[in-house]
């Protein structure tokens, strides 16, 4: 079955080409092919154990494929370490939020911004005008990032003291601090209540309007159907469908994979 979907005449920003992953005798992914185009929000879905997290691990350098290639902006990611993939502009969040729990929300983001710059330590210590201006610009960018994700009013609170949903928003702010070309979100609303999920959807809508490219792994089907330009469906390590939300809702193989109607009724 041809699972490719032509969504744009432009060249894909991310291409996953015949990727397979095998752990001993266990096949986690058998033959995965899909593209993500500039400005798209693509969701990667599937039942538990379908291979979604393994796919993310391969794309971001945490797992080497047994076979196949991943290309980002025309550059092969083969053999690159996670921080090298991030340096190319492909930035990932995790199911478990990684943040600095004991320092302020603002300083969390400021540290993230400093990681992508190379200020002169000598100039910083002396407070030279150029370094002061650079620091002021980073501080303003930190405020802009917090306003974007909607937690600027909690800037002075310790990161670890935030409610769970706001910690996930801070995780996205840290990812955005790396100035990504593409953002990979691994089950971002897992564990959130309805109100927190609604706020996260609003953030995704804002990022879409900004033209951010997003690849999302998520189990929340109403959310996926609402926000996705395109959905790629994995089942037992292989892609069984690739299409618009409407096409996915009406795909018999997808419906069967979700035990007879979970996607259809989402």
pLDDT of 265 > 60? The answer is no
Tokens describing residue 8: 């744009």
CA-wise closest residue to 254 among 229, 237, 230, 235: 235
Q: 9 and 59: one domain?
A: yes
Choosing from 177, 198, 221, the residue where a domain stops is 177
Domain encompassing residue 169: 101-177
Helix/strand/coil for 23 = strand
Angle between helix axes 105-115 and 164-177 (nearest 10 degrees) is 20
Question: Residues for the chain: how many in total?
Answer: 266
Q: 60 and 75: one domain?
A: yes
Q: 193 and 232: one domain?
A: yes
The mean pLDDT value for 176-180 works out to: 89
Run of H or E residues at 17? strand 14-23
In-domain check, residue 96: no
User: pLDDT: is 17 or 266 the higher one?
Assistant: 17
CA-wise closest residue to 175 among 203, 137, 134: 203
Q: 154 and 193: one domain?
A: no
- What residues does 14 pair with on adjacent strands? 36, 72
Q: How many structural domains compose the chain?
A: 2
Q: 33 and 10: one domain?
A: yes
pLDDT at 127: 60
pLDDT at 247: 94
- % the chain with pLDDT above 70: 86
Q: 2 and 126: one domain?
A: no
Choosing from 160, 177, 194, the residue where a domain stops is 177
Confidence (pTM): 0.84
Q: How far apart are CA 263 and CA 259, in angstroms?
A: 9
In-domain check, residue 111: yes
């Amino acid at each position: 079955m041809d699972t490719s979907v032509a969504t744009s005449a432009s060249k894909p920003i991310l291409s996953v080409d015949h990727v397979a992953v095998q752990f001993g005798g266990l096949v986690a992914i058998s033959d995965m092919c899909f593209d993500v185009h500039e400005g798209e929000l693509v969701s990667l879905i599937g039942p538990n154990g379908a291979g979604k997290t393994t796919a993310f691990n391969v794309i971001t350098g945490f797992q080497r494929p047994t076979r196949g290639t991943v290309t980002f902006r025309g550059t092969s990611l083969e053999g690159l370490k996670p921080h090298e993939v991030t340096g190319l502009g492909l930035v990932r969040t995790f199911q478990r939020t990684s943040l600095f729990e004991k320092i302020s929300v603002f300083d969390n983001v400021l540290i993230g911004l400093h990681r992508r710059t190379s200020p002169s330590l000598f100039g910083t210590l002396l407070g030279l005008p150029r370094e002061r201006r650079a620091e002021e610009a980073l501080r303003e960018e930190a405020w802009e990032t917090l306003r974007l994700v909607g937690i600027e009013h909690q800037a002075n609170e310790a990161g670890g003291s935030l409610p769970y949903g706001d910690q996930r928003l801070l995780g996205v702010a840290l990812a955005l601090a790396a100035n990504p070309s593409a953002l990979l979100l691994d089950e971002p609303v897992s564990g959130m209540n309805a109100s927190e999920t609604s706020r996260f959807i609003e953030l995704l809508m804002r990022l879409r309007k900004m033209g951010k490219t997003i690849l999302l792994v998520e189990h929340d089907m109403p959310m996926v159907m609402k926000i996705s330009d395109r959905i790629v469906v994995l089942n037992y390590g292989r892609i069984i469908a690739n299409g618009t939300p409407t096409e996915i809702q009406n795909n018999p193989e997808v419906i069967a994979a979700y035990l007879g109607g979970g996607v259809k009724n989402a």
